[in-house]
Amino acid sequence: SQKIEQNSEALNIQEGKTATLTCNYTNYSPAYLQWYRQDPGRGPVFLLLIRENEKEKRKERLKVTFDTTLKQSLFHITASQPADSATYLCALASGGGATNKLIFGTGTLLAVQP
Amino acid sequence: DADVTQTPRNRITKTGKRIMLECSQTKGHDRMYWYRQDPGLGLRLIYYSFDVKDINKGEISDGYSVSRQAQAKFSLSLESAIPNQTALYFCATSDKPQAGAYNEQFFGPGTRLTVL
């Protein structure tokens, strides 16, 4: 069956360090992958999208990689700040691009300590 | 004002009651979605609609129904609520993608529903 895995354990890092979050999937061939941020009691907010033919995407302090051979995406936050503390969700396209349906992982909680 | 709004924000109800959750958007998007979020299970798709006349079941539609009253409004109903429908419910919207493009989803603030 199709499965998306994110580390369920919280990731604790020191301010200024690089946070790296992992998203692994099985039995998928997604056309693209998205990352969202979710703060407690709020809806997810879109951060980045990466296509299957892209290896890496950057936006300010954020970087996403997509390895379709390993079936894995890595999400990096450089020079992390306490304000980056949140749950980060990865989401994979289900079906072709025109359907725009997403399958979400369970998320990883990031805690950045000052 | 928020682009995607949900009402109510919190609701406590009893088993067997009929409940409607409402979603409105001002983004002008054709596509709307309903998800539920449970601890350890992540976001799961209940129903989605690509336009007013196109409504589709998602991963977990049993026990739920929807109505797309207009482009901007998409309601989720629990015909006879049961305790395992206690969850955080999110509405989301997205624009129809251009050919070869993929669009992000915009989420509302959520409705916390408790069924006793």
In the sheet where B73-78 sits, what is the strand order?
B4-7, B19-25, B73-78, B64-70
- With a cut of 70, list the residues of chain A below it in pLDDT: 95-100
Instruction: Pick the residue from chain A with its C-alpha nearest to B30.
Output: A100
Banded model confidence at residue B116, pLDDT cuts 50, 70, 90: very high
Range with the poorest average pLDDT among A3-12, B58-67, B92-101: B92-101
For position B102, what pLDDT does the model report? Answer: 76
Angle at B25 between CA B33 and CA A107, to 5 degrees: 45
For position A70, what pLDDT does the model report? Answer: 92
**B24, pLDDT greater than 60:** yes
Distance from CA of B81 to the nearest CA of A (A): 22
Which of A4, A42, A49 minimises the CB distance to B102? A49
Looking at the complex, does the CB of residue B47 fall below 8 Å from at least one CB of chain A? no
The β-bridge relationship of strands A32-38 and A11-14 is unpaired
